[in-house]
Amino acid sequence: MTRPIPRWAWALTGSGHCFAESLAMLRELGAADLFVSRAAAEVVRMYKQRLDLPQGMHVFHDTTASAAPVGLFYEGIYHTLVIAPATSNTVAKCALGISDNLVTNLFAQAGKCRIPAIVFACDSAPEMQTRAPGGIVKVWPRRIDLEHTRALGAFEGTRVVVGLDELAAAIAERRAALAGHV
Ligand SMILES: Cc1cc2nc3c(=O)[nH]c(=O)nc-3n(C[C@H](O)[C@H](O)[C@H](O)COP(=O)(O)O)c2cc1C
């Protein structure tokens, strides 16, 4: 029996911040599947975007109380979890060990299966520019948001990145490690 080639698992949460750029990165990734939070499915529509994924990428929506697709993590199908972008809500829940929806369950199960995770946390600085549906706006992440981002960075097997360049670099490093170059 042939085993499937391990893939990237990419989770999209309901963040307007850098979500179009993150989706563009996913489209270039190759063997990957997308997991969409309920908020992300709404936000994609609010920004008048489409997922437009290459053929062969599967999309999993958050439709079950038990986060049924996480079962795939036990089958060796995914080598890496990327959560990009990750809302302050998802980062907070992950940092506190809460797993009550599809994306937070992916993070928890990745940890328990020792699958490395890369998390692009939206809230990275006390003052930031972000994109609302109507254009660029200024936001001031709270101390609690920044504390959760910091706390998540201390999790085993988890790399927290705070910008698109850092996300691209983390993916490139992981790709090199998978290819045996590191
Ligand atoms: C248009 C729009 C843009 C949003 N952008 C962000 C964002 O950049 N960062 C963030 O933390 N939350 C943002 N939110 C709020 C999240 O969608 C909300 O907290 C949601 O509950 C997150 O759920 P999830 O983490 O399960 O995806 C946005 C909401 C809307 C309607």
DSSP states along 104-148: HHHHHHHHHTT--EEEEES--SSSEEEEETTEEEEE---HHHHHH
Cβ atoms of residues 80 and 9 within 8 Å: yes
Cα–Cα distance measured from residue 133 to residue 47, given in angstroms and rounded to the nearest whole number: 5
Going by CA atoms, what residue is nearest to atom 31 of ligand 1? Answer: 43
Q: How many angstroms does the Cα of residue 39 sit away from the middle of ligand 1?
A: 7
Cα–Cα distance measured from residue 92 to residue 148, given in angstroms and rounded to the nearest whole number: 5
Q: What local confidence, expressed as pLDDT, does residue 118 receive?
A: 98
Q: What local confidence, expressed as pLDDT, does residue 47 receive?
A: 86
Cβ atoms of residues 44 and 50 within 8 Å: yes
Residue ranges of the domains in the chain?
A: 7-177
For the stretch 108-137, pLDDT in tens is 999 999 999 999 999 889 999 998 888 999
Ligand 1 neighbours, Cβ below 6 Å, are 13-17, 37, 39-40, 43, 46, 87-90, 101, 103, 122, 130, 133
Which class does domain 7-177 fall in?
alpha beta
Measured from the CA of 19, which atom of ligand 1 is nearest? 8
Mean pLDDT, the chain cut into blocks of 10 residues (182 residues total)? 79 94 95 97 90 94 95 94 98 98 98 97 91 90 96 97 96 95 70
